[in-house]
Amino acid sequence: MTTLLQINTSLFSDQGQSSQLANQFVRQWQASHPDSAVVTRDLASEPVPHLDAQRFSAFLAAPEARSAEQQAIVDYSDALIRELQQADVIVMGLPLYNFGVPSQLKAYIDHVARNGVTFRYTENGPEGLLRNKKVYVFAARGGLYAGTPLDTQSDYIRHFLAFIGIDDVEFVYAEGLNISADAKDAALNKAHDEIQRLAA
């Protein structure tokens, strides 16, 4: 059975444009893969705590030296990582906020990037430990940024995923959503066409 993990990062949960695109893809993907399982993580309705010294220290502590509070922090991180480990396909809804990724996504990344768990350091440099996964990213933007220096998201997401071992990543962009009604309609129609192709 194939498992799909959907990660929505919009502040507006299912009401965000990126979430709606991701939701549409997942619905059509399920129709094409009826024996699949879908796990959904909404970072707005279930926010991941931002990384602080206490949480980072828990990750660094030796297992036998962890306090009960530190162990609870590690257990929470392990649960997030387990979702990634068990997923064959990962779908991400990704809005652009002030030229970067949503802070709730950064918090999530800080909890799943764990040395010795999702990556490890070797004599040849870091090695990702999550492999054989496909990622679809549905990026919604108010302006036009793809392919320009202002698009800090795409490379950041690609670099992070590669760091933990995932290099099969495909982006679908819906841009210019705040420029005009016509621009929004054109961008969403183009994204919907891409979803039809990818989810088949």
Alpha carbon of 101 to those of 8, 31, 52, 177, 188: distances in Å?
Answer: 12, 30, 19, 17, 20
Annotated binding site for FMN: 10
CA proximity to 127, closest of 78, 154, 162:
162
- The residues that bridge with 135 in the sheet, in sequence order, are 90, 169
Q: Which residues of 58-68 are buried (b: 16+ CB within 10 A; e: fewer)?
A: bbeeeeeebee
- 177 near 187, Cβ under 8 Å? yes
What CA–CA distance (Å, rounded) separates 97 from 43?
15
Asked if residues 83 and 41 have their Cβ atoms less than 8 Å apart, the reply is: yes
133 and 98 Cβ atoms separated by less than 8 Å: no
Parallel, antiparallel, or unpaired: how do β-strands 3-8 and 89-95 relate?
A: parallel
Is the C-alpha dihedral spanning 120, 122, 126, 128 positive or negative? negative
Q: Could you list the residues known to form a binding site, using ranges.
A: 10
